[in-house]
Structure 1
């Protein structure tokens, strides 16, 4: 009878760390022994990854351009529309971002106090200019082409196949129609969490906008609920014709019904200890 000797060889599993670091534009972060100031993913010799996200400067001027009825309020708040009819406002950052790099914007939205009000706010990416906007049911972004927009819609417009509840949707090229045959409706509409919540409640609400160019995935977290809506696709090529440089901003509008609509920034920047003369 033959006997066989079986030798088992165990290889240790490598555990790779992956972290995210946020800095303001113009700052630097110490990553694996080097000071870095460009957005991207950095890897050390052990296979650990750190993604560096460069956020816009946390100041109102000169980084933001206001249009229409948009105004600056105390506390670094941007009011897009007052509670008046037929208003429209937009606020654009005048520094283009590169969609080949990730971004992570944490923004508080205030969608009004009147549950019968209108029309809503949109977060928009577009390569054209910092002077765009529209009115009424267009939420300030209708007709902006090319564009990638996340709408927070508080009024039912039947011509756009809006649901009966306040909703979120991802649209392209300034077209708001949600009908199934319309390929400009990239995702949604979905109700506000939890359970189609009516969002015009006179409260601030957290919206975190995230873009990962590696997976080509855009994700929205809302009020602590993760991945409320998302879209995966090559938006640089399929929407912006291969141009990764875009302006970003927020728009809003009112029509016959109205609401005060505004936003402010949350900066999730970690405290970092440095030596004198470092940056």
Structure 2
């Protein structure tokens, strides 16, 4: 009975999470609902369908935003989770990508070190930067920062990362904004497991930054004289503060545990039927 209740609880939790979903791309075999700009395109990387913001070519710039503006909750809260992969480095690799919420239009900002984000006003961005652009980057070529108003001089920055952003491995980030407190939390990990504590936090009034309750959400990227492929592997976005604790699609290990759990439930039910049949035969 206990095992059956645990299995039922998993199903209920999954159903609750599904109700809160606003945008979900488990892969990019279909990009309906997105406006692809510049070099951005859906492609297969050899094993899966990804959203490639830039190929590994010099002077590229691309972005992908929701085709229609999203209506944020009354307190401007939102939560998102996405997995990306930066690889195939040319001339050292560059320049990185940005998750952005912006209000102007579906567009691409500055190229090269601008990462397709620079110059887009009324915007909040989370940059994953792979090039050292000097003091604005704290002289780091491997950092994550929170940006405002189209500026890449981050208001808060982490350059002590436990992984290389352009190392060709999947990296997952969670971004949550609680509009009631004004707290923006950013988490990231290379194992797909959401950290308990935020890696970056910043207090900001998103209403003042955006100036409206409707905004486009998506990603930007660019290359310069150095280049990399910048791929978004999966993405989920919620229009309200509703932290995404579990992956949009269970990881292989999770599937294995679920299958094992269902097998245990099935075995328990079979044993119960056998025992019941035996008792009836003896009666």
Q: TM-score, normalised by structure 1?
A: 0.69
In terms of fraction of residues, the more strand-rich structure is: 1
- Output one character per residue of 1:17-57: Cα deviation in whole Å (capped at 9) or x when no partner: xx99423xxxxx4xxxxxxxxxxxxxxxxxxxxxxx33214
Q: Do structure 1's residue 240 and structure 2's residue 215 form an aligned pair?
A: no
Aligned residues: 213
- Tell me which residue corresponds to 1:80: 53
- Tell me which residue corresponds to 1:256: 225
**Cα RMSD, aligned residues only:** 2.4
Q: Do structure 1's residue 104 and structure 2's residue 79 form an aligned pair?
A: yes
Alignment of 1:30-45 (within 5 A): none
Aligned residues of 1:165 and 1:198 also touching (Cα < 8 A): no
Q: Distance in 1 between matches of 2:144 and 2:54?
A: 19
Q: Do structure 1's residue 71 and structure 2's residue 71 form an aligned pair?
A: no
Q: Distance in 1 between matches of 2:79 and 2:23?
A: 10
SS in 2 for 1:142: coil
Aligned residues of 1:70 and 1:80 also touching (Cα < 8 A): yes
Aligned residues of 1:76 and 1:264 also touching (Cα < 8 A): yes
Task: Give the 3 Å change call, closer, same or farther, for CA 132–114 of structure 1 in structure 2.
Answer: closer
Q: Do structure 1's residue 228 and structure 2's residue 199 form an aligned pair?
A: yes
Q: Which has the higher contact order (CA 8 A, sep 6+)?
A: 2
1:158 Cα offset (Å): 1.7
Q: After TM superposition, what 4+ stretches of structure 1 lie above 6 angstroms from structure 2?
A: none
Q: TM-score, normalised by structure 2?
A: 0.68
SS in 1 for 2:113: helix
Q: Distance in 2 between matches of 1:255 and 1:151?
A: 16
- Tell me which residue corresponds to 2:172: 206
SS in 2 for 1:111: strand
- Tell me which residue corresponds to 2:22: 55
- Structure 2, unaligned stretches of length 5 or more? 1-12, 237-246, 251-283
Q: Distance in 2 between matches of 1:169 and 1:229?
A: 8
1:269 Cα offset (Å): 4.9
Q: Distance in 1 between matches of 2:171 and 2:24?
A: 22
- Output one character per residue of 1:65-95: Cα deviation in whole Å (capped at 9) or x when no partner: 0000111013441001111111011000123
In terms of fraction of residues, the more helix-rich structure is: 2
- Structure 1, unaligned stretches of length 5 or more? 1-18, 24-28, 30-52, 178-184, 272-279
Q: Distance in 1 between matches of 2:67 and 2:120?
A: 17
Q: Do structure 1's residue 172 and structure 2's residue 148 form an aligned pair?
A: yes
- Output one character per residue of 1:141-188: Cα deviation in whole Å (capped at 9) or x when no partner: 0000011111000000126343234001111111112xxxxxxx322x
